[in-house]
A = this chain, B = another copy of it.
Amino acid sequence: MLEEILALLQEKKYGKARDILLQNNEVDIAEILEEIMENLGVEKTVIIFRTLPKSVSVEVFSYLPIDDQLELIHVITDKEIKFIMDELAFDDMIDVLEELPANVVDKILEKTSKDERKLINTFLNYPDNCAGSLMTPDYISLQKNMTVAEALAYIKKEGMDSETVYTCYVKDNGRKLLGIVSLRNLVISEDNLQIDELMHEDFVSVNVYDDREKVSETFRKYGFLAIPVVDKEERLVGIITVDDILDVIEEETTEDIERMAGVIDHSDKEYLDMSVFHHVKSRIPWLFVLMCSYVITGGIIASFQDMLSSVISLVAYMPMLMGTGGNSGSQSATLIIRGMSVDELELSDFGRVLWKEVRVSIIVGVILSSLNFARICWLDGQGPWVALTVCGAMLVIVIAAKVIGSMLPMLAKKIGIDPALMATPMISSLTDMVSVVTYFLMASVILGI
């Protein structure tokens, strides 16, 4: 279908292209526009964008990636910008404004009322990673002495402009949140019941400065469709809806996974949209830090140089010991990091985790060492003392690696560092050091060199 639309646009058959476009969901139209912009440039895209019905075009705009939104804004008229900004959901508008240069923002805000300008500025000032940056002030507010019929009439009137109508909020005069009531409850209740008889007062809320990860964990735990956001005086300042949280979860997970591989957060761009330079910048810092750690490992090896030259066959087992140490440590680190990030593990579980890892690593270590012992004696034809050296070292290394791998992420959390940074690259650099030291000490004891 994309090819067809591109061909039609080339032939300037805009009307027909539009008709085909409009058979799609707005999310898909946005995806197609993205492709059009990439293939034919922004000028062609703006022509087809303008042919869309107004209500569709605003929704499509909200689903475009921020880069494409900015490109469009630079070529459409001020009047069109004003229209889009007015019609966009409040939280989507804030997302766009955040990325625009200050002078463009000023120009847009110039035409809004003083109250709205103040509200927008408050929202623009919330830090990027907190609940405040995700919320919208467009929610349905009910009075506690309304009847169900009155509430439904009110929703009928105001429902169009609200982010969601499925959860409604009841506040006192000081804007303090008293309770929430679901549209489901309103719809299945008798018309003359009063809101305060229906509303739930044991609602769960988040603070406006709570971390986005905490917000998404709350959604997952309770299965809400929307969550109220309050300030420290418990006043309702906005709501967050579940559809926005799905994106947050994906972004947070990507950030975590990339950190665990030693890649530094690369803004919100997709892999292919990032420049080569940007990729280099996100990868080189950790590679450099870890490379430095190998200076120490190298130094340790250098100091055992004489021993190595006398039994050079020991060198051949170094990669296996270091590799198995690294892999064992990574397994533990990953389980612990993930466990903490989904709130399955707490810092107070430190002792239980340590005890579990020690037992697991002893069993794993014994199994791997025994298999290796057989292999080294029979397949490699080495003497039992070399085999014992390698396998003794392996047992110690696996235990040490699993203990380090499980404890380091917890220690990181304890002192306020993201545990995800204590994943494979970091753990394997550390276990490499432990591995060579263990191996050489074992060799000097068992082989007497």
Taking Cβ atoms with an 8 Å cutoff, the residues of A that contact B are: 23-25, 27, 152, 155-156, 159-160, 164-166, 183-184, 187-188, 202, 204, 219-225, 242-247, 249-250, 253-254, 256-258, 260-263, 270-272, 276-277, 279-280, 283-284, 286-288, 290-291, 294-295, 297-299, 301-302, 305, 308-309, 312-313, 315-320, 322-324, 326-328, 330-331, 333-336, 338-339, 342, 344-345, 349, 352-353, 356, 359-360, 363-364, 367-368, 371-372, 375, 379, 424-425, 428-429, 432, 436
Residues of B within 8 Å of A305, CB to CB, are 312-313, 315-316
29 sampled A-B residue pairs with Cβ under 8 A: A164-B184, A166-B183, A183-B183, A219-B246, A224-B243, A225-B243, A250-B342, A256-B257, A257-B260, A258-B335, A262-B327, A262-B330, A271-B339, A272-B344, A272-B353, A276-B360, A277-B363, A283-B360, A287-B331, A287-B364, A290-B327, A291-B323, A291-B368, A291-B371, A294-B320, A301-B318, A301-B319, A318-B319, A322-B322
CA A253 to CA B353, docked complex, whole Å: 22
Supplied contacts A272-B356, A309-B312, 5 more A-B pairs, CB within 8 Å: A223-B243, A242-B246, A271-B353, A290-B324, A315-B315
A302 touches B316 (CB 8 A): yes
CB atoms of A360 and B280 under 8 A apart: yes
Q: A271-B344, A279-B360 are contacts. A334–B261 as well, Cβ < 8 Å?
A: yes
Tell me the complex Cα distance, A47–B312, Å: 69
B254–A342 contact, CB under 8 A? Answer: yes
A286 and B250 contact, Cβ closer than 8 Å, known pairs A222-B27, A280-B360, A319-B301: no
Is the Cβ of A263 less than 8 Å from the Cβ of B334?
yes
This protein's copies in its complex:
2
**Pairwise interchain contact B331-A261, C-beta atoms closer than 8 A:** yes
Distance to closest chain B CB from A440 (angstroms): 11
Q: Inside 8 A of A152's CB, which chain B residues have their CB?
A: 187
